[in-house]
Structure 1
Amino acid sequence: MAALTITRERGGWWHAYVCPAHGVELDHGDLLGDPFPSTGAACRYGCRVDTEAVRGARTVLAHQAAAQRLRHLACGGPAERSEALRLLLEYAELYAGLPSTHPGAAGWMLHGRLFHQALTEAIWAVAVSHAVRTLAAHGGMRAELGALLPFLRSLGESAGQARAELRHKGESRSNYTAWLAAAETCCRSAALAIEGVEPDTVKLADHYGLFKHMRTAMHEDGWEWEGSTYYHLFVLHAYLLALRGSNPERLPGDIAGVLGAMITALAGIATPAGTLPALHDGPYRREAQSAEICEVATLADQLFAGAPLAAVVGAAARETATELPADLTGWFSGPPLPARTPRRSFPDTGFAVFRSAGIHALLDAGPHGGGHGHLDKLSLYLYADDGTAWQPDPGQVPYAHRSYRTYYAGTKAHPTFRVDDSEQAPCDAVLDGDTGRCTGAYDGVSAIRRIVTDPRYLLDILVLEADDERLLTAQLRPGTDLHVVAQGPDRARTVWGDSESAVMTGQHVSRPPADFTVVAHPGPADDPARTCRGVDWATTGRRAVFVSVYQSAEATPPIRRVSLSERTVHIDLADGTVATHSIGR
């Protein structure tokens, strides 16, 4: 393998690495071996994009890839370790020569030095510091590693200054804080290791504010306050990386509780096959995120017994060819803590998981979640047990694509309700057992969505009530093929999936009768240019009841007919039985 050469260019903002026409992330190529393509970065549809922002974004990816390679080299033989030291000294020299802040950063950003964002720099610093710490385990290298102490000190101080700025702004709960505090902890730990002192990472994590962030940025139900799968994983990753070498039994009880709840929250929303719904902001499917999930799961399995994320790591591993960092073995210095039991209901965050007859459903009925929240209250996401995304949360595109970012954060992208063809307002919903309630999305409109599980089917009841006549719409937003058959003015049948995926059927009926109209919509955010079939199910009035009954293809007995009376749902099954369920208010 050729010797690694690091770029001396400063990085920009990775979210700019996106095709302006199609909204897809551009091809990375060989980040460590190839320069920026002379014809521009490639889009999967054939576009070539070459702008200063795109070049800066690829430079971010190259620096992060180099930092991960350093972790691998540090775990190698003498030649690899010498190569890692050479590159670290080169990075130290580069960093020392940089101005205090990146001149190209946007005004809204928390500025870094090597990168536009201090957050990006903190992520890179954590990886770099772990490479240093691994090398420091070889006592014969410590004298040479001593030259890196000013570099580590500077990285830690930069992260500390950025964290102080967030604190001054009243934004201490920000996910940035987790990585900035992790960078401070990891850089100080690496410096102590060079000096021959075993770092007390529990004490350091407390000193640098990591534990305070855990105590303030997490809901009691285990979710990071923004309610985003991606950012939940993101801060959990920072926590676990910062605690290298700690004894799990020495963690403060509440901190162990937070970490356990965060890990079991992921296990709780995952399908039996390990697919994680992409709730709120975050990629729908991204190779780099799959690699991150694998690393988080590997560390989580060392912190808690019972392999809590075994299914999740299995699914993620199928989506990435990235090798796990070589330094993960023996991350903690003591045995794992007792296994935790995953939960299915998260009242603070407003997520409720339902499993019925081969269907894995998730109701989103919680707080808005700040800047990473979506206008999607009372969305219902539907997956097969094998992970087939019949009706997924569509995720989000790289943030620099403004129009697609707005779309995917908006109401029309989600399987929720809409009034007068307008966007929901940012608001909070309330989860009460199997029912979500929302009164803030539209003035004068209340919405209630109840999910009923039965061994034979899953029942969805959505009731919209308005103070005066409004256009009331329920939305279906498939991620798979959708076939629609109208069966009268008030009912329709749907088939979700195809011969290469799990298949689900839906029976849909409304009161009063509502138009069940097939519409085109962008698919999940990993490929916004793809067109999918959806449904806008709409009627004008002051009250509407939309009822859907879903069955996986394997469920028996099949549903023959669904009908509504004023207060009751009637489900006729092929074996002659009739099930009834109250519509409620």
Structure 2
Amino acid sequence: MSSVPQQPGGWWHDYVCPTHGIELGVREGNEFLCSYGCRLAGDKVEAAWLALEHQALARAARVAARRYALHGEVADRERAVELVLDYAALYDQISAGGWSERSESWMLRGKLFAQALSEAQWAVGFADAIITLGAIPELQESATLSRTLEGLADTLAESRRILIEDRNDQRSNYTAWLDAAARLIALARESLGGEPVAAHFETAIVDHLQLAVRSDGWEWEASTYYHVFVLRAYLLGLRGLDPQQVATEVADTLRRMIDVLVSIAAPDGFLPALHDGPYDRVAMHREVLEICALGAQFFSDTGLTTVQSWVVERLGADHDGLEWMLEGWFVGAPLDRAPVVVGSRAFEDAGYVVLRDSRNRMVGILDAGPHGGAHGHFDKLALYLYGDGVRWQPAPAVPPYGHALRHSYYARTVAHPTVSVDGSDQVEATAEITAWDAATSRVTAVTTTAIEGIRLSRTVQLDDGLLVDVMHVTCDDGEPHTIALGLRPAVDFSVRVVGSSWRSTWGAGAGATGSPAGAHAKTGEQTQQTQPALNGWHWASGESTLDLHAGRGPSDDPSRLQEIADWVTTAPASTFVSVYSFDPDATIDSIETHISDTAVVIEIAAADHDTSRIEVAL
């Protein structure tokens, strides 16, 4: 009896509850359970489960093989060999039938999976188990395994040809994984006595790296998830190389990609889920840990210690420790290149600006770049706010792609803390960073293409203990329009009117929701923990309303109701001014705001009689 399922996998993104929008959990018989009590069945969801199960078993083979290599336990050896040979038999059988019938028209088809991308990810794990086991008799003598490795190599090569030649999409994140898988399959064949791995496999990875990574280190889509996704493929695919012998431009690009993660991390190590991708998912957390481990073999210091600690805490019992068993992935000493200094930083090419106070208690991220392709969101000039152990106003990410809320809510403007006009979403657009001062952590960015006939300008400045945010909206036709600036908290949130202004409180005391560092709840669960509070003061030019209402929180649990707000006015132009205090030891006596047609002047008096004055030209 085989130790692996005998059916091909579908598209894992279909493994989602249609009612609650969360990834499904365990299987019971022919039913698949949602944490809210839903029980689903059917071919589509079963195929999605199979896709995840095949990936999980490839990982189990890796873990068993590497444990055996470290400790020599016979049970681990037997388990790894069993999985490898059973998958060899399954792939040999399934691939004889040709390309998957489960694929949708837009997919790059696989054989064991609906998508060639999933097949490549699986193949990397499968190959790693074989290479780690080495030239043992059970593997060397298996004609089925030999045919499977040859068949996988052919599948990967043909998938890449279709992607590059027929679809002209060499920059795709698929390419990175097809290249990584092709090289590891070649290494697996070599480990069993086959031909030495040709240099063109490594060259293909390097070519993609140089094509798909922006000058500032971001993967071209500027999505945290796909940045992690592609960076991991590069590090896996370059297995067996000596960092000291890698071309300087390649090492520099890998360094910049790792530095992106260091630069955007929240104070506690949480990685903001910018644009498409999961908000909080076990599989992604494990991918981040693999980057931390492999990066530490490539560079003497990655700067990812805080990120790694947060992920290990967050995984809890789901942490299987694979990344601790990857020693020797690269040969030779790591490169001695220091990581980026953590602080405020502008990514001019991707368009993100990270504002960080000097004591690393708050991070603000302004989205002021290109749309980001198929994984981009309609969120130009959105401002995301993170604290130490709390996500006050985070990028919401998206649920599994098989759920309609990915496009109908989470990719839309309504899900993000930015401006919409007349109730319409923004369109695919680019913003421009027009002023940037790292010394004062101040940025101004503008877009004139996100909403037709509308100019949006946002200035954000982060001082120690205070963040000032000024959004200015101008309608080119001079006519009144309904302008709304979204506030999208992910914590307990309250608003009260104070004269002609408003006061807001974000996540004060117990009851704030989210996924704080140290929480050992299963991914997607709500947690409660005392978190740092954020206090806000808000003013607008002209008459406006700050409307508090129920909305959705981050995409790890779309069905959870969250208090959100829309700051609304009807006018040909409007200025929205917010001041946020995140220093629990500082007391503000007063804030005075003066808004004219040409400038905003904000004067802040603290209890210690220190007064600061901030001016923003409109």
CA distance in 1, matches of 2:531, 2:120: 41
- Residue in structure 1 matched with residue 498 of structure 2 by the alignment: 487
Q: Does 1:365 align with 2:368?
A: yes
Aligned partner letter, 2:402 = A
Identify which of 386, 409, 412 aligns with 1:410: 412
| Total equivalences in the alignment | 570
Q: For residues 485 and 153 of structure 1, do their structure 2 counterparts lie closer, same or farther at Cα, with a shift above 3 Å needed?
A: same
CA contact (8 A) 1:446 1:465 kept: yes
Deviates more, 1:497-506 or 1:17-26: 497-506
- Residue in structure 2 matched with residue 84 of structure 1 by the alignment: 80
Instruction: Spell out the pairing of 1:324-363 with structure 2 (5 A cutoff).
Output: 324-325=321-322, 327-342=325-340, 344-356=345-357, 358-363=361-366
Aligned partner letter, 2:35 = R
Deviates more, 1:149-158 or 1:556-565: 556-565
Alpha-carbon distance, 1:513 to partner: 3.4
CA contact (8 A) 1:509 1:562 kept: no
Q: Does 1:528 align with 2:558?
A: yes
CA distance in 1, matches of 2:195, 2:267: 44
Instruction: Spell out the pairing of 1:56-67 with structure 2 (5 A cutoff).
Output: 56-67=47-58
Q: For residues 329 and 197 of structure 1, do their structure 2 counterparts lie closer, same or farther at Cα, with a shift above 3 Å needed?
A: farther
Instruction: Spell out the pairing of 1:71-220 with structure 2 (5 A cutoff).
Output: 71-75=62-66, 76=68, 77-98=73-94, 99-136=97-134, 138=135, 143-144=140-141, 147-168=144-165, 169-195=167-193, 199=197, 203-207=199-203, 209-220=204-215
In the alignment, structure 1 segments of 5+ residues that lack a partner are 30-35
CA contact (8 A) 1:41 1:48 kept: yes
Runs (4 or more) in structure 1 with deviation over 4 Å come to 138-142, 196-200
Q: Does 1:421 align with 2:418?
A: no
CA distance in 2, matches of 1:199, 1:387: 46
CA distance in 1, matches of 2:163, 2:321: 32
Identify which of 413, 416, 441 aligns with 2:450: 441
CA distance in 2, matches of 1:260, 1:436: 27
CA distance in 2, matches of 1:21, 1:421: 26
Aligned partner letter, 1:494 = S
CA contact (8 A) 1:274 1:313 kept: yes
CA contact (8 A) 1:352 1:362 kept: yes
Aligned partner letter, 1:134 = T
Identify which of 441, 453, 466 aligns with 1:457: 466
CA distance in 1, matches of 2:614, 2:457: 15
CA deviation vs aligned residue, 1:63-105 (integer Å, no higher than 9, x gap): 1111011112222134432432233222122112222211121
Alpha-carbon distance, 1:561 to partner: 2.2
DSSP-derived class of the 1:534 partner: strand
Alpha-carbon distance, 1:449 to partner: 0.8
CA distance in 2, matches of 1:262, 1:4: 41
CA contact (8 A) 2:262 2:303 kept: yes
CA contact (8 A) 1:359 1:551 kept: no
- Residue in structure 2 matched with residue 516 of structure 1 by the alignment: 546
Instruction: Spell out the pairing of 1:561-572 with structure 2 (5 A cutoff).
Output: 561-566=591-596, 567=599, 568-572=601-605
CA distance in 2, matches of 1:148, 1:484: 64
Alpha-carbon distance, 1:403 to partner: 3.3
Q: Does 1:473 align with 2:475?
A: no
Q: For residues 6 and 20 of structure 1, do their structure 2 counterparts lie closer, same or farther at Cα, with a shift above 3 Å needed?
A: same
CA contact (8 A) 1:73 1:81 kept: yes
In the alignment, structure 2 segments of 5+ residues that lack a partner are 437-442, 510-529
Alpha-carbon distance, 1:557 to partner: 3.8
CA distance in 2, matches of 1:509, 1:556: 21
Deviates more, 1:68-77 or 1:443-452: 68-77
CA contact (8 A) 1:193 1:199 kept: no
Alpha-carbon distance, 1:329 to partner: 1.2
Identify which of 18, 21, 24 aligns with 2:19: 21
Identify which of 288, 293, 306 aligns with 2:288: 293
CA distance in 2, matches of 1:296, 1:348: 23
Q: For residues 322 and 9 of structure 1, do their structure 2 counterparts lie closer, same or farther at Cα, with a shift above 3 Å needed?
A: farther
Aligned partner letter, 2:392 = W
CA distance in 1, matches of 2:93, 2:136: 29
CA contact (8 A) 1:146 1:194 kept: no
CA distance in 1, matches of 2:376, 2:156: 26
CA distance in 1, matches of 2:87, 2:567: 57
RMSD: 1.8
TM-score, normalising length: structure 1: 0.94
Instruction: Spell out the pairing of 1:239-250 with structure 2 (5 A cutoff).
Output: 239-250=234-245
CA contact (8 A) 1:125 1:183 kept: yes
CA distance in 1, matches of 2:449, 2:413: 14
Aligned partner letter, 2:351 = G
CA distance in 2, matches of 1:106, 1:286: 25
CA deviation vs aligned residue, 1:91-126 (integer Å, no higher than 9, x gap): 122112222211121111111001100000000000
CA distance in 1, matches of 2:386, 2:2: 43
DSSP-derived class of the 1:389 partner: strand
CA distance in 2, matches of 1:308, 1:196: 39
- Residue in structure 2 matched with residue 277 of structure 1 by the alignment: 272
Identify which of 232, 243, 246 aligns with 1:251: 246
CA distance in 1, matches of 2:447, 2:489: 23
CA contact (8 A) 1:221 1:346 kept: yes
